[in-house]
Amino acid sequence: MSRLEDAFARKKAQGRAAFVPYITAGDPDLPATKLFVETLVAAGADVVELGVPFSDPMADGPVNQRSAERALKTRITLRKVLEFVRELRASGVTVPIVLFTYFNPVFAFGCEAFAREAARAGVDGVLALDLPPEEGVEYRRLLRAAGIDTVFLAAPTTSDARLKLIDEAASGFVYYVSRTGVTGVQSSLSGDLEPELRRLRTQLTKPVAVGFGISDPTQARTVAKLSDGVVVGSALVRLIEEHPKPADAAARIRDFATALVAGMNT
């Protein structure tokens, strides 16, 4: 069992959902990102998603796009993100880390080299947002041989047949996009979320983490009752944007993450 699979299994045994926060690596810089990761872990993060900045983040809304732009201005690359993960491990961070990326940086790096270096760094899983499972056979083989889980997306528009394909291709967990569109804070959850997650349960054997738009403890509590994991990204990234001083942003992140975890555990 991988470290990522173990994290979800332990939460399931406790009758709870995993808290999976997302932040962009290098926004506003890597020392600040380290502070934010440590803050999130102390607040109860079970898995941390690190975004790899990319110049054309087509699945991301304005908040995360601006975050990627800020990180790119400081010359953050995939190689630097891997070095950063290695530093996190050396400093004592043990929670599973999933890289949230687009496939182009991985392809440019070289899939074989990426799998090798990601494993050495201590990466537990990779979600390449724009890589469909049909096109990722060799990529999956290389990552799995290196002991890294491959996470894939499912959406409200995903057919039952395709859900089965995703389930076969994925390891670690399946990331369910709770609504069509891009990432971003939403005032309410989709009214179809509960029946859709019931449908997913009939097709998927892997844990299901739900994201895209979850922005407060009430929403997190609702999703936690229906899924194996709750992914919160844009709401955290917005706090970083609104508080340029890392110490101020970390304090807000601590309070917000603590409230989310408390809501999920209610």
Q: Encoding tokens for residue 164?
A: 């089965």
Closest CA to 229 of 87, 48, 29: 48
Q: Encoding tokens for residue 233?
A: 């990204």
- Largest Cα span, the chain: 48
How far apart CA 44 and CA 15 sit, in angstroms, is 16
Please list, residue by residue across 131-154, b when 16 or more beta carbons sit within 10 angstroms of its beta carbon and e when fewer do: bebeebeebbebbeebebbbbbbb
Contacts of residue 156, defined as CB under 8 A and 6 or more positions apart, other chains included, come to 177, 178, 179, 180, 190, 192, 196
Q: Which of 5, 27, 49, 196 is catalytic?
A: 49
Q: Where are any strands of DSSP class E within 64-213?
A: 97-101, 125-128, 149-154, 174-177, 208-211
Active site residue 138: no
Q: Which of 5, 27, 46, 60 is catalytic?
A: 60
- Contact between 226 and 183 under an 8 Å Cβ cutoff? The reply is no
Phi, psi of 116 (to 5 degrees): -65, -50
The strand pairing partners of 150, in sequence order, are: 126
Q: Is 51 helix (H, G, I), strand (E, B) or coil?
A: strand
Active site residue 49: yes
Catalytic residues: 49, 60
